Amino acid sequence: MSRDPRRRDASPVTHEDEIAGPTSGETTTVPDPVRSTFDRGVVWCARGAAWLVFAAMAISVFEVIMRYGFGSPTSWVHESVV
């Protein structure tokens, strides 16, 4: 039995669906999300796409600063982001 910290009455709550943690002497292994060559390709593409989204956001911030801060809009920013 354990106490649920989110409950105000602090009454004991049992969780029958909980998985028991490792006991002494047992080791825990984290499953590897990359299992095959296809998985490696997917992870590589996802990381590349994430960096491209970050770059698009940075370019958009630059455009907003140039347009509203300095009154000098650029046309290449919209085309680059799209």
Higher per-residue confidence, 40 vs 78: 40
63 has a pLDDT exceeding 70: yes
Annotate 4-61 with DSSP letters as a single string: -TT-SS--EE--TTPPPPP-TT----PPPS--SHHHHHHHHHHHHHHHHHHHHHHHHH
70 has a pLDDT exceeding 80: yes
pLDDT in tens, 38-60: 888 999 999 999 999 999 999 99
The model carries a pTM of 0.51
